C-alpha cells in the first residue's frame, strides 16, 4: 500500500503537525508513504515531495496566482487569515500526485492555493480527507465569523455561487471519504450539503509520543531551569505559571487572546505568572507585553515544548473554535490540566473538574473562575495524573494509527474490487 499525505506545510500549525505525525507513524510501520507540501518548514528533513522550489518559472507562476487570489479577497472584503477560495491551486500539482501513483491520497489542510477544487477532482486515487476546519465544506471560511463573534448568526456561510461550484465538483468524487478528528466537526460535516453523501469516520489526531515520555511528576522548577539555560524564557521560581501558546495570538482572533486578557484581569496575578509562548512575530510579542506588562513571552521550538508545558501549573486554551486542539492534546500528555471553553471538540479531551475546567463559551468571568479553580485545587498531582491518563487510556497512538490503517486497507480493497469488475 502506498499512501500520499498532502498538507500545506510540514510543521507549523495544528493540521501540519497532525499530518506529519501520521506520516512519520506510517513510515515507522513500514508503510510506503510520502508527504506532499507547499511550504517547506525549517528543521524538517524527512523525505518528501515538494511542489515549490522546482525552478524560477514555476515559483513565479505560483506567486502570481497567490497574489491574484489575495487581490480578489481584498476586493471582496474577505479576511485573508480566515478565508480562502483556493481557486488556482499550484502549478502541475494534480499531475504530480497522479504520477506518484498512490493507492490512497490523504488530504489535510490544502487551502491557500495548494490544491484547487478542480485539482481535487483530477486526483485518480481514492481520497481520504481529514478535515481540520470548516473550509472543505464551507464557501471559503476556515472559522465561520459567527464563532468569532460568539453569536449564532451563520449568514456568512450562505450558499454563494462559489459554494455551489464547490459542491458540484466535489460531489463528482464518489471515492472521497471524510475523516473527522472530533465528533463535533464530524457532525457538522455530515450535515453539510457538500459531504452529506460521503462515508464518514471519526479518528482523532495521533498524539505525539515524545510528550508522553515527559516526566510529568518532576519538579516544575527543573523545567524552568532548562528553559532559562537554553535562553528561552526566565520564569519565576516562586510563582505558579499559567501558559498560553499561539503563533499569532493577535492577528488570529480565533486564538482568543482578547478573552484571555479580560479573564487575566480578574485573576490575582501577584502570585501567578502568565507565560505567552510560541509567538513568532516580534510585533505581536511587543503588543502582548504592552497589554499584559508582567507576562513572560517566548518563541518555543518544538524540541523544547514538553519542558514548556512541564514548567506550567496549567494551560489555558481560550480559542473561539477548536476541532481537536493539539495544544490541549500536548498539555494533557505532559500531565498539565487545561482550562478552555466548552466548545468544539474540547469536551472530548477535557473532563470538567477532573483533568481541567470547561468554561461557559466566551464568558471571560467563567474562564477566570476556571483558572482560579485549578490553581487552588487541593491536590494538583491528582489533576496531573488525570490529565495524562486521559490521553493514555482514550487516545492511544497505536490504536488511532490502527484505525487509520484499517480504513486505508478497506478503501484499497474496495477500489481494487471495483477495478476488477470494470475489467
CATH number assigned to the domain covering 209-394:
3.40.50.2000
CA–CA dist 159, 259 (Å, integer): 31
Cβ atoms of 25 and 396 closer than 8 Å? no
Tens-digit pLDDT profile for residues 164-208? 888 898 888 889 999 999 999 999 999 998 999 999 999 999 988
Instruction: Give mean pLDDT, residues 110-125.
Output: 91
Instruction: Give mean pLDDT, residues 206-231.
Output: 85
How far is the first Cα of the chain from the last one, in angstroms, to the nearest whole number? Answer: 21
Please state, for a pLDDT cut of 70, what percent of the chain lies above it.
90
Tens-digit pLDDT profile for residues 45-79? 455 555 555 566 777 777 888 888 888 888 877 77
Better pLDDT: 260 or 41:
260
CA–CA dist 270, 152 (Å, integer): 37
CA–CA dist 297, 245 (Å, integer): 10
pTM above 0.75, yes or no: yes
> What's the pLDDT score for residue 42?
47
Tell which CATH classification among 3.40.50.2000, 3.90.1150.10, 3.40.50.720, 3.40.47.10 matches the domain 2-206+396-422.
3.40.50.2000
Cβ atoms of 371 and 364 closer than 8 Å? no
Joined grid coordinates for residue 314: 496549567
Instruction: Give the start-to-end residue ranges of the domains of the chain.
Output: 2-206+396-422, 209-394
β-partners of residue 201 are 179
Asked whether the predicted pLDDT for residue 152 surpasses 50, the reply is no
Window from 26-35, 283-292, 413-422 with minimum mean pLDDT: 413-422
Cβ atoms of 129 and 179 closer than 8 Å? yes
Instruction: Give mean pLDDT, residues 86-110.
Output: 90
Of all helices (H) and strands (E), which one includes residue 219? none
Joined grid coordinates for residue 29: 510501520
Asked if the domains 2-206+396-422 and 209-394 are classified in one and the same CATH topology, the answer is yes
**Residue 154: band (very low, low, confident or very high) from pLDDT cuts 50, 70, 90:** very low
CA–CA dist 236, 377 (Å, integer): 21
Asked whether the predicted pLDDT for residue 362 surpasses 50, the reply is yes
Joined grid coordinates for residue 342: 466548552
Cβ atoms of 195 and 178 closer than 8 Å? yes
Residue 89 CB partners (closer than 8 Å, separation 6+): 65, 113, 114, 115, 116, 118, 119
Amino acid at each position: 500500500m502506498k499512501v500520499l499525505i498532502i498538507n500545506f506545510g510540514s510543521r507549523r500549525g495544528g493540521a501540519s503537525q497532525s499530518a506529519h505525525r501520521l506520516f512519520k507513524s506510517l513510515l515507522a510501520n513500514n508503510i510506503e508513504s510520502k508527504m506532499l507540501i507547499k511550504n517547506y518548514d525549517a528543521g524538517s528533513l524527512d523525505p518528501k515531495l515538494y511542489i515549490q522550489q522546482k525552478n524560477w518559472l514555476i515559483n513565479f507562476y505560483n506567486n502570481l496566482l497567490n497574489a491574484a487570489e489575495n487581490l480578489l479577497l481584498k476586493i471582496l472584503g474577505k479576511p485573508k487569515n480566515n478565508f480562502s477560495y483556493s481557486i488556482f491551486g499550484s502549478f502541475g500539482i494534480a499531475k504530480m500526485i497522479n504520477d506518484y501513483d498512490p493507492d490512497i491520497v490523504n488530504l489535510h489542510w490544502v487551502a491557500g492555493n495548494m490544491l484547487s477544487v478542480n485539482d481535487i477532482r483530477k486526483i485518480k486515487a481514492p481520497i481520504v480527507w481529514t478535515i481540520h476546519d470548516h473550509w472543505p465544506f464551507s464557501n471559503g471560511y476556515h472559522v465561520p465569523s459567527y464563532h468569532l463573534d460568539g453569536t449564532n448568526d451563520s449568514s456568512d456561510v450562505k450558499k454563494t455561487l462559489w459554494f455551489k461550484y464547490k459542491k458540484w465538483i466535489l460531489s463528482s468524487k464518489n471515492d472521497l471519504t471524510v475523516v473527522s478528528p472530533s465528533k463535533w466537526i464530524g457532525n457538522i460535516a455530515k450535515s453539510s450539503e457538500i459531504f452529506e453523501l460521503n462515508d464518514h469516520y471519526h479518528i482523532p489526531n495521533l498524539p505525539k509520543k515524545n510528550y508522553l515520555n515527559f516526566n510529568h511528576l518532576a519538579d516544575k522548577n527543573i523545567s524552568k531551569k532548562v528553559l532559562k539555560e537554553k535562553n528561552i524564557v526566565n520564569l519565576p521560581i516562586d510563582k505558579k505559571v499559567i501558559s498560553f501558546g499561539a503563533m499569532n495570538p493577535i492577528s488570529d482572533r480565533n486564538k482568543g487572546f482578547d478573552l484571555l486578557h479580560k479573564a487575566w484581569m480578574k485573576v490575582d496575578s501577584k502570585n501567578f505568572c502568565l507565560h505567552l509562548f510560541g509567538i513568532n512575530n516580534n510585533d505581536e510579542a511587543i503588543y502582548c507585553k504592552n497589554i499584559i506588562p508582567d507576562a513572560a513571552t517566548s518563541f518555543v521550538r518544538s524540541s523544547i515544548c514538553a519542558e514548556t508545558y512541564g514548567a506550567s501549573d496549567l494551560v489555558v486554551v481560550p480559542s473561539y473554535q477548536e476541532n481537536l486542539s493539539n495544544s490541549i492534546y500536548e498539555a494533557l500528555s505532559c500531565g498539565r490540566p487545561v482550562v478552555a471553553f466548552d466548545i468544539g471538540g474540547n469536551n472530548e479531551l477535557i473532563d470538567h473538574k477532573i483533568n481541567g475546567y470547561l468554561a461557559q463559551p466566551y464568558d471571560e468571568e467563567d474562564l477566570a473562575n476556571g483558572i482560579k479553580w485549578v490553581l487552588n485545587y487541593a491536590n494538583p498531582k491528582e489533576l496531573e495524573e488525570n490529565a495524562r491518563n486521559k490521553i493514555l487510556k482514550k487516545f492511544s497512538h497505536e490504536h488511532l494509527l490502527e484505525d487509520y490503517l484499517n480504513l486505508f486497507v478497506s478503501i484499497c480493497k474496495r477500489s481494487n474490487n471495483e477495478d476488477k469488475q470494470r475489467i
